[in-house]
Every structure is written in structure tokens, then in C-alpha cells.
Amino acid sequence: MSEVAVKLTGRLSPRDEWAADGCPIAGTLEVIGARSSFLLLREAFYGCTRFDDFARRAGISEPVAAARLRELVDHGLLAREPYQEPGKRTREQYALTPKGAEILPVLTALMDWGNRWLADSPQVQLRHRECGAAVSAELRCASGHAVAPGELDLVPGAGSRRRR
Amino acid sequence: MSEVAVKLTGRLSPRDEWAADGCPIAGTLEVIGARSSFLLLREAFYGCTRFDDFARRAGISEPVAAARLRELVDHGLLAREPYQEPGKRTREQYALTPKGAEILPVLTALMDWGNRWLADSPQVQLRHRECGAAVSAELRCASGHAVAPGELDLVPGAGSRRRR
DNA sequence: CGGCATCCTTAGGGATACTG
DNA sequence: CAGTATCCCTAAGGATGCCG
């Protein structure tokens, strides 16, 4: 069995101090790493806004849904907002913030991989509304080139600046 | 606070039977959903091959590393292979398979989000070796268009066919 | 409808010590 | 070096029931 040439070879090896929490991947997992968090975000993208729908469609119990939704709100990925349909009482809804909306590539990449490699799960595709073509999360550089895994270097330090 | 226009509006709402395991996202999480699995895969991309390095650099204990590595091997994301440096004894190494290599967009998307939104984690960037530009996981359709979140439709059914 | 309180089970994960 | 064995703790999560 041959070795797969996908390592980010070259000058990449990060220092050992990169243990768990000193890395943006690990940091992101601290925020959305729970299974139910992924599922709730999935439902948010699917259009869920109400508590009951979140719990039912994500297939998780209400206490868990309540806890995770609160976490997501506290971390600023979802915003809880009152809304009122004419003639009805005030209700609460959960809506994605820009910070939460940018999780979409993560979910898309997970969906892509599942579609390709999991034989027992149904295929689900995102499509570009204008042209109908399948959408996936692919590696691109800022210059617009499609990037293969072997063409990557890993560099520490400042890249795009943080927003908040 | 205004609503964010990022829902995949249109004819998207999946049926309720989409509970946890009937979705490629949930399916993928069944395979790599544990925190330590992500971290081990991260290290595999960073070039780790040996057990000790996996455990130490991922910052997890040996028993956990052993359990997760076995899972990843069982699921076909890593391959355990004997290798031998000249004049030394045989050793085992873990190498990414094509199935495992395709997790890279997931990790890249997680890294992107952490770089942008987590003020307390160090910035780490992937760069395109040829041109030096920053690499990210971005949404593209098969026709090559960059796709904004609001331009998406979700469709069930066959997309790219499974390999194995 | 949108939760919270309580109780319980399981899975993830750390520490330590030991083996081939 | 590459694990295993044991023990224990904590977090994730389900079930049920109650409340404004």
C-alpha cells in the first residue's frame, strides 16, 4: 500500500506548543465542537428559527437544545430576537449572526465528505441557484487558484485580521 | 438588530426524518466527531506519522490516542503501515488514505473561522506554495462561480457518486 | 409554545502504571 | 517506541415532568 502524498510537506511542522488550545482549529472546536452544536447550526442554515423546530429537526432533547442554543447565543453565532406576527403574541426566534453564518463552509465540507464516503447516508447537495451546479467547499488561494493538498505551506502569524 | 440574510431560503426545508443519522453531516460527525479525532487528523496533515508524536502534539493522552487512531484506521481514514529505515528495526506508522485526505477542507474551514473570529487563538495560515497567497475553503459551484450563502438551494438525492 | 429542573446513562478523556 | 490496563472524572445527552 503506497503512501498518500497529501501531507502539507515542506516547512510546516508546527512547534509542540501547539497543544490543544493554541490552535484556531481547536479553538473553533471549543465553540462548536459538540455534536449537537453542529446539528443546530445545520438547522439554522436550513431555516429553523423556533426552539421546538430546532430540537425536533436536529433530533436532540429539549434540555440539550436549550443548553447548546444558549452557548451559541453567548458565543455570538446566533442572536435571539423577539418577533411578532400581526395579531399574534410576541415570540422568540434564533437567527444566524454574521459570525455564525461563516460556519457554513465547515458544514459544507462535512456534507461533501459524507456524500462522497458514507454509503449508508442519503446524498444531499447544495446547488448554485443561478446555474444549478453543485456547490462544494474547495481549497482556493486568494489569487483564485484551485489548490491541491500537496501545494500547501503552513505559516504561523498574522493573516487576515480579526473582526468583532 | 437586523436579520442576517444567510438562510438557504427557497425550496430547502428538509423533511423531519432528517433526524441525526439521516444526513451526511451527521454521518461524518459519527466518524470524526470526537474532538480528539479532529486533532489527530490535524496532526496527520501536519506530517505526524508516529504514535508518540500524535499523542503529544495533539495534546491527548495515550489511551485516547490509541482508541481514536484505531477508529480512524477502522474507518479507513488512516492506514497503519510498517516501515523500516535502513539499519533500524521495523516500525509502524499512520498515513492518511485518500479518504482521510479529503477531510482537509473541513479542517481548513475550521481554521479559517478560528483565525477570523477567535481573538485569543494564534493566527495560522495555509498558503499556496506557488504564489504565496492565503488559502481558504470557499464555496464554489462546479461551474467555477464563487457562491454566496444566499445563492444556495438544497436538494436531496444523488449528487457525486460514492467511491470506495 | 418555549423553555427549565431533575435524574440517569454513556462516551470522552486524563493520570498512572505497566508490557512487548 | 508503541502501545495496554486500570481507575476515575466530567461532559454530552436522553427521558420525564413541570412551568410561565
Quick: pLDDT tens for B147-161. 998 899 998 866 444
Q: Which of B2 and B38 is assigned the larger pLDDT?
A: B38
- pLDDT confidence of residue B117: 96
Nucleotide closest to residue B54 (CA–C1'): D2
- pLDDT confidence of residue A86: 67
C-alpha cell at A98: 454574521
Nucleotides in D strand less than 7 A from protein CB? 1-7, 11-17
Mean pLDDT of chain B: 84
Nucleotides in C strand less than 7 A from protein CB? 1-7, 11-17
In terms of Cα–Cα distance, which of B43, B29, B36 is closest to B96? B43
CB B130 within 8 A of CB B115: no
Q: Which residue in this structure is represented by grid cell 493522552?
A: B61
- pLDDT confidence of residue A99: 97
Please give the share of chain B, as a percent, with pLDDT higher than 70: 79
Would the pLDDT of B17 be above 60? no
Rounded to whole angstroms, the Cα distance separating A66 from A56 reads 12
Each of the 164 residues of chain A gets a pLDDT tens digit; together they read 333 444 454 334 444 444 334 699 999 999 999 999 999 999 999 999 999 999 999 999 999 999 999 999 999 999 998 877 666 677 789 999 999 999 999 999 999 999 999 987 778 899 999 999 999 999 999 999 999 988 999 988 664 444 44
Q: Which of A107 and B20 is assigned the larger pLDDT?
A: A107
Please tell me the distance in Å from B83's CA to the nearest CA on chain A: 11
CB A111 within 8 A of CB B22: no
Domain positions in chain A are: 1-17+103-155, 33-100
Rounded to whole angstroms, the Cα distance separating B48 from A9 reads 11
Q: Which CATH architecture has domain B33-100?
A: Orthogonal Bundle (1.10)
- pLDDT confidence of residue B145: 94
Residue B91 β-bridge partners = B83
- pLDDT by residue (tens digit) across B81-128? 887 766 667 778 999 999 999 999 999 999 999 999 998 777 889 999
- pLDDT confidence of residue A72: 97
Compute how many other C-beta atoms are within 10 angstroms of the C-beta atom of residue B42. 23
Question: How sure is the predictor about B5, in pLDDT bands with cuts at 50, 70 and 90?
Answer: very low
Which residue, among B35, B40, B81, B140, would best test binding to A if mutated, counting the most A CBs under 10 Å from its CB? B140
Contact list in B for residue A135 (CB cut-off 8 A) is: 139-142, 147, 152
Residues 19-78 of chain B in contact with strand C via CB under 7 angstroms: 33-37, 59-64, 68
Residue A61 CA to nucleotide D17 C1', Å? 14
